[in-house]
Amino acid sequence: APRYPRYTRAEVAQHRTPSERVWVTYGTDVFDVTEFVELHPGGPDKILLAAGGALEPFWALYAVHSQAHVLELLRDYKVGELSPDEASPPPGDTGDPFAGDPPRHPALRVNSLKPFNAEPPPELLTQSFLTPNELFFTRNHLPVPAVEPGSYRLRVEGPGGRALSLSLAELRQRFPKHEVTATLQCAGNRRSEMSRVRPVKGLAWDIGAISTARWGGARLRDVLLAAGVRDNTGDSTGDDNEWHVCFEGLDADASGTPYGASIPLKRALSAEAEVLLAYEMNGTELPRDHGFPVRVVVPGVVGARSVKWLRSVAVSPAESPSHWQQKDYKGFCPSVDWDSVDFGAAPAIQELPVQSAITEPRPGAAVAAGELTVKGYAWSGGGREVVRVDVSLDGGRTWREAELGPRPERGRGWAWALWELRAPVPAGARLDIVCKAVDRSYNVQPDSVAPIWNLRGVLSNAWHRVPVTVTR
Ligand code: MTE
Ligand code: MO
């Protein structure tokens, strides 16, 4: 057998672009795939996401790769092998509260490592209707708790001191499993566009703080009824409309304060609202980053209320006292600053407004003359299904209607629509691609960011604009 030179992972990581050569690893083999990049059937942009690192995490996402001929093809590009001491990852340092966080997919764009906050690259976000679990955006405020599923108990407190303590097995067996395909979006999605108007406080999310999964679990309604909560919500003389259901996570800060949030009791008890205590995500148990073993999923509502690593559920006459319910995730007038802000005066964000964004092409890209394909997503809160997406190539002067992709659960408006527009583009043109969505209530997106600017950078849903040039 031929002897190959040995490389470290750090050396491989230096080869990420065609000008530095594109290297990847598979097992302990090192390949120079520079010449293959343009030939990649999935497109050069997709294979470049793996440049400088291992192929396995990417191949695991897309089943087309698990074929013998793909490995065969790769063999021609082998240039080396990993050094023997590169086999195992370095040991984690102790004393770091984040040392127990789980491993993550290398394609994620990391906005903050500790706590971990990351979004999928736009080109992968709209590759599939259901976001693969490994690519689903992650929004953690605190370290990921390590939960032992055998000893896990969910505490459910009804009114009048009645309480339930449910093991994972009891949650699965006592309540029928209900499944919902729902999009989760962080209130801060597209915040970076808002900071370009004026700086805001918060993580600089691009367009990827949104993802879609098929969630499975017990209905929160069923669990609350089992805990003795009475369903008075249809009764206009009852005062249950003003009550709330408060959630607490098992993740806590250095002082022991857990993450928490609440939703109105009326939504929690509504069969149509389909609020879940989810233990499954796309057919597998919840990944640690997404709330293992149990999380709340509130369809149509801002991600912040879908509490992960759920420790307790409590019915209460008041909203959650948590910082994240009271002092964050609220919208304000553009003139409000950190000296004048009164968090008590604004309602907590629940249902989100209509949203859309372009995932392909990317801003500043040079696209080929001929037929251009524009791709993106569109979604609205409250179950208000998207009915139309308009796309302009000239900054909003003229418009065409995009084609909406198939939606598996039409009529239950919890999930996004993926959309596409094909249009001929002339060589040398400068395009200002714009998209805007319309929901079932004919809500539309604002045309610019400045009038919806707010100090926390939430609810950023202006028309998405992507300037590109067409090559000659
Ligand atoms: N739940 C707990 N326990 N801790 C958290 O930090 N983040 C919230 C919510 N639930 C959070 C949480 C926020 S702000 C969002 S947007 C969603 O989880 C993100 O869910 P994901 O990480 O599964 O995408
Ligand atoms: Mo969020």
pLDDT, tens digit, 9 for 90 and up, residues 108-151: 999 999 999 999 999 999 999 999 999 999 999 999 999 999 99
* Separation of CA 173 and ligand 2 centre (Å): 31
How does DSSP assign 399-445, residue by residue? Answer: -EEPEEPP-TTTTSTTS-EEEEEEEEE-TT-EEEEEEEEEETT--B-
pLDDT at 200: 96
pLDDT at 94: 62
pLDDT at 47: 86
> Quick check: CB of 320 below 6 Å from ligand 1?
no
Which residue has the least CA distance to atom 24 on ligand 1?
138
First-to-last alpha carbon distance for the chain, in angstroms, is 48
Q: What is the pLDDT of residues 413-422, one digit of tens each?
A: 999 999 999 9
Catalytic-residue membership of 152: no
- How many angstroms separate the CA atoms of 136 and 102, rounded? 14
For the question of an ipTM over 0.95, the answer is: yes
pLDDT at 421: 98
Which pLDDT band, with edges at 50, 70 and 90, does 238 fall under? low
Alpha helix (H) residue ranges in 150-264:
168-174, 191-197, 220-226
pTM, two decimals, is 0.88
| Higher-pLDDT residue of 305, 159 | 305
Catalytic-residue membership of 105: no
* Separation of CA 379 and ligand 2 centre (Å): 16
Q: Which of 65, 109, 141, 400 is catalytic?
A: 65
Which pLDDT band, with edges at 50, 70 and 90, does 49 fall under? confident
Tell whether the model's pLDDT for residue 216 goes beyond 60: yes
Instruction: Give yes or no for a contact between 59 and 66, defined as CB atoms under 8 angstroms apart.
Output: yes
Q: Which of 178, 329, 384, 465 is catalytic?
A: 329
* Separation of CA 303 and ligand 1 centre (Å): 6
Catalytic-residue membership of 465: no
Instruction: Give yes or no for a contact between 229 and 190, defined as CB atoms under 8 angstroms apart.
Output: no
Choose which residue among 186, 292, 301, 355 to substitute to test ligand 1 binding: the one with the highest number of ligand atoms within 8 A of its C-beta: 186
| Higher-pLDDT residue of 135, 42 | 135
Ligand lying closest to the C-alpha of residue 184: 1
Ligand lying closest to the C-alpha of residue 249: 1
Q: What is the pLDDT of residues 142-188, one digit of tens each?
A: 999 999 999 999 999 988 778 999 999 999 999 999 999 999 999 99
